[in-house]
Every structure is written in structure tokens, then in C-alpha cells.
């Protein structure tokens, strides 16, 4: 790992910073970490098609990085400046993204273990250990937690993290642990529905609430809600959505801003008065095939889910939408939407932007 410009970052940390540090491929074996377009560091990996990187910026400008090793399996937690490996897992385990304590003296992370099931308990049981790690590499395991999912962040009262429910596609439960006494308390004491995709925004939380369990996404006509709550779990605002999920909500100047997955649509809600604003992304329109076009005369463009999607989009799990897009373009139904991408080399992708919607 190579640090590029750490001196510029001292004092730049904010409660929602971890979600704004993005990893962008530079070439086949390097990721560049960016904060709002500014380069922070580079991370060497086996191959960007196999390995993933998640980073968090500490209050003093240091970077903690989780590297998911796709070739051999397992993950490692590293600290930059100087480079130090704080934790390395077995090839069967994984790590969540790290989260810094407010004083910058410790990190919280979940060691994600293989799921298990038995004849006595046929439902799949997802497992994870919640770890607190100081900068010398000393680990403290919260012994009473065996089903941790990931760490959201720290607040004045402790570490906010999620726990898996039971089942093959479980929802998540919001919990807090005191880092000194290891006392646990639920954040949502009586959740009125299933909880998905919780995020921490400084002193506020957001999560998706559904009355019925979700497999992957809401079905057509299925109602979900994007809920905004304070650190105690008390609801502030609720935004209804039908047949869709919010994508990466973030807090900006007193508004919660988010896009809607699978739709060229963005929304922003003012948390003070509840007023909603809508905006549409500029997406090229449909093309009507010429009359009498023969299927035999149509071709299907090849679109690579990693190489042809935007640099800021992780396409490793986008085989489904990419294949669907290729099938749609077999009939020539979408106009080109050219973008520049740089993996494995700089080139123009005519259709990859549709995958990242």
C-alpha cells in the first residue's frame, strides 16, 4: 500500500466519511482510494477482478483498509502510514469494513465466519465475531456476540453494529455495545417490520423497513419505507417506496439524499419539514427498431460487467443486469451512452453506464 497525500487529510474526518472513501481501479493490480475525488493512497492487490478493498478515514487522517483476497480467500485489515497488518483471517473467513473510534485509538470490525446449519436447526445461521482492535494489533472479542454482521460506526455511547436474523436471506438487527463494559443493548427495541441496509450518518441512522421479508428486492407493488431515526432509534422521518430500494442514502445539509435502484430517479427529503424533492437522471431514450427488422440481422454487443461499467461502480456481482442489457441490445432498443473507463486499459464503453443505474 502506498500513501499519496495523507498530510492534506488531517482534520478532514467527518461522521459519514467512511462511506465517501471509494476504491477505484487504476490498473489490473492496483486500487486508488479517493475522498471526493482527491487521491489518498494506492493499494496493491492480486487482481482487481478478484480482490475488493474497503477503507475508512480516521480522525487524524490515517487510513484503515480491509482487503478481501479473492484469489486465495480470506481478508486482512491494514493500517497505512506506516503500513501495518493488524489482522489476517483464514481463507474461510472474511472481514467487514473497518470503523474508527472517535479518538482514533481503536477500530471495530466483524470477522465474518462460514454460515452453518444442522439437522436440529435447518435454518441457515450466519455467524460473525465483533472485534475491537487497538493500533498495536491487540484484539478484544465481544464474547456474547456470535451473529454480528458489520459495524456501522461509533457514537458517544459505544459501537453501533448489526446482527443477523435467522434464515437464508436474513434481515439485520441494530445493536450497540459499550467498548469498556461490553454491555449490549438493542437500538430498535420494538422494530415494526424487517430491517435492511442500515447506515450511520453522524448522529442519525437510516434503514429500510419492510413488513414482509425481502429475498433480494421488493416485488412489484410491494411497499417498503426508508426510515430516518436518531441514535436511540426514535423515528424522525419515513419515506415510502413501492417496488424499489433506496441506494446509498447520505446526509447533505440537513437533507437525506438517495437514488432509487433500477430507476433514473433521485430524491432528497428535508429532515426538518419533510418536504421531498425529486430529480431525474438524464438517460438516453429508447430506440424503435426499423419496421420489418429481421432478428437474424440483429447483433448482440458484448458488455463486460467489470471492464465496461463506470470506474466508480463495482461490477463483480453485476452479471445478471449486464446479461439482461446485452439481451435488450440484441433488439437494439437503447441508445448509446458513452463513458470513459480505464480497466484494463482506457476505452469508451457505449452501454456500461446502464448497468450502474
DSSP 6-75: GGGGTT---TTGGGGEEEEEEETTEEEEEETTEEEEEEE-S-TTT-EEEEEE-TTS-EEEEEE-TTT--E
Q: Tell me the pLDDT tens digit for each residue of 42-51.
A: 998 888 878 8
Q: Tell me the pLDDT tens digit for each residue of 82-135.
A: 788 999 999 999 999 999 999 999 999 999 998 887 777 667 788 899 999 988
| CA neighbor of 163 nearest in space, from 121, 203, 191 | 191
The pTM score is 0.75
Q: Tell me the pLDDT tens digit for each residue of 245-263.
A: 898 899 988 999 998 887 7
Reported confidence tier of residue 161, pLDDT bands at 50, 70, 90: very high
Residues 276/238, Cβ–Cβ less than 8 Å:
no
Distance CA 271, CA 2 (A): 40
Burial pattern 170-187, b for ≥16 Cβ within 10 A else e, equals bbbbbbbbebeebebeeb
Amino acid at each position: 500500500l502506498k500513501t499519496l497525500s495523507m498530510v492534506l487529510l488531517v482534520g478532514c474526518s467527518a461522521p459519514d466519511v467512511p462511506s465517501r472513501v471509494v476504491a477505484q481501479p487504476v490498473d489490473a493490480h492496483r486500487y486508488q482510494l479517493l475522498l471526493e475525488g482527491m487521491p489518498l493512497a494506492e493499494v496493491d492487490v492480486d487482481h482487481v477482478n478478484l480482490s475488493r478493498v474497503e477503507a475508512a478515514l480516521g480522525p487524524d487522517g490515517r487510513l484503515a483498509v480491509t482487503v478481501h483476497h479473492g484469489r486465495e480467500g480470506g481478508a486482512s485489515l491494514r493500517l497505512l502510514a506506516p503500513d501495518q497488518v493488524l489482522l489476517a483471517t483464514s481463507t474461510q473467513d472474511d472481514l467487514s469494513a473497518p470503523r474508527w473510534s472517535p479518538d482514533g485509538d481503536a477500530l471495530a470490525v466483524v470477522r465474518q465466519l462460514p454460515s452453518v446449519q444442522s439437522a436440529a436447526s435447518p435454518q441457515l445461521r450466519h455467524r460473525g465475531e465483533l472485534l475491537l482492535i487497538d493500533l498495536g494489533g491487540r484484539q478484544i472479542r465481544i464474547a456474547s456476540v456470535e451473529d454480528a454482521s458489520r459495524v456501522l460506526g461509533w457514537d458517544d455511547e459505544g459501537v453501533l453494529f448489526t446482527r443477523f436474523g435467522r434464515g437464508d436471506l436474513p434481515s439485520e438487527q441494530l445493536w450497540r455495545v459499550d467498548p469498556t463494559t461490553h454491555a449490549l443493548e438493542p437500538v430498535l427495541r420494538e422494530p415494526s417490520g424487517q430491517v435492511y441496509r442500515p447506515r450511520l450518518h453522524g448522529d442519525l441512522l437510516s434503514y429500510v423497513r419492510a413488513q414482509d421479508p425481502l429475498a433480494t428486492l421488493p416485488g412489484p407493488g410491494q411497499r417498503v419505507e426508508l426510515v430516518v431515526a436518531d441514535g436511540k432509534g426514535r423515528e424522525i422521518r419515513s419515506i415510502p417506496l413501492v417496488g424499489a430500494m433506496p441506494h446509498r442514502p447520505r446526509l447533505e445539509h440537513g437533507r437525506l439524499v438517495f437514488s432509487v435502484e433500477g430507476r433514473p430517479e433521485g430524491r432528497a427529503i428535508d429532515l426538518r419539514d419533510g418536504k421531498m424533492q425529486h430529480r431525474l437522471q438524464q438517460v438516453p431514450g429508447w430506440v424503435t427498431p426499423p419496421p420489418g427488422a429481421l432478428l437474424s440481422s440483429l447483433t448482440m454487443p458484448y458488455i463486460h460487467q467489470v471492464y465496461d461499467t463506470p470506474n466508480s461502480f463495482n461490477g463483480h456481482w453485476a452479471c445478471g443486469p449486464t446479461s439482461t442489457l446485452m439481451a435488450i441490445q440484441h433488439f437494439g432498443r437503447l441508445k448509446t451512452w458513452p463513458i470513459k473507463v480505464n480497466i484494463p486499459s482506457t476505452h469508451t464503453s457505449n452501454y456500461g453506464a446502464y448497468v450502474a443505474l
